[in-house]
Amino acid sequence: MKFYVRKLGTNELGYRNGKQKVGQFFFISKKCNGTFFPKLRQKINNDHIEIEILDVYRNVISNLNLHYHNDKHNTISGTRDEFRLYLNRNFAPNNFWFKPNDILIFEKKLDSEYKMYHIKISSIKYEDLNKKIKKTHYLTDDISDLILLKDTLNEK
């Protein structure tokens, strides 16, 4: 798959009871492991890798850590089995840069190199684009159904 479409939620952005309180990350679908993002291994506790992402909106390249929290498979009392992409200040300049319901479209360039298109909820064309989003996250080889993407990205 060439694209990963993601709509952000409150929990991953650190919102608790309507207020931003804790650190931020992006949940990553398990379907992306080895198909879109590099393969992280279940047998290695908390396997992780650094990936490079170009944020097209700001034209900034960041190195982010993709973690597989997998103690459910490696420890007796483990409960976690999830993938997270942890944000840093180069990527998210403040705690309010990414907002719930913002749309992200990741494009795979090389094994550990990606472009990310950030469509903010405040964008004029957000509603039109939002209607075309199939789910909160999905993999696809074709974003022609998101034809508004180019114009939306040029609007800041």
> How large is the average pLDDT for residues 129-145?
81
pLDDT at residue number 154: 46
Give the domain extent around 134.
Answer: 3-153
Percentage of the chain beyond pLDDT 70 is: 92
Residues in the chain: 156
What confidence tens digit (pLDDT) does each residue in 44-84 have? 988 999 999 999 989 999 999 999 998 889 888 888 889 99
Percentage of the chain beyond pLDDT 90 is: 51
Contacts of 53 (CB under 8 A, 6+ apart): 61, 62, 63, 64, 91, 106, 113, 114, 115, 116
Beta-bridge partners for 8: none
Beta-bridge partners for 85: 26, 66
pLDDT at residue number 146: 65
Number of structural domains, the chain? Answer: 1
Q: Which of 23, 47, 36, 33 lies closest to 116 in space, CA to CA?
A: 36
Is the separation of the CB atoms in 96 and 20 below 8 Å?
A: yes
Query: Is the predicted pLDDT of residue 106 greater than 90, yes or no?
Result: yes
The residue assigned the tokens 């913002």 is 102
Q: Rounded CA gap, 144 and 130, in Å? A: 14
The residue assigned the tokens 């990527």 is 91
Query: Is the predicted pLDDT of residue 8 greater than 70, yes or no?
Result: yes
Beta-bridge partners for 10: none
pTM assigned to the model: 0.88
The mean pLDDT value of the chain amounts to 87
Is the separation of the CB atoms in 106 and 87 below 8 Å?
A: no
Q: Which CATH number covers residue 47?
A: 2.40.330.30
pLDDT at residue number 145: 62
pLDDT at residue number 142: 79
Q: Which of 17, 15, 1, 43 lies closest to 137 in space, CA to CA?
A: 1
> How large is the average pLDDT for residues 5-10?
92
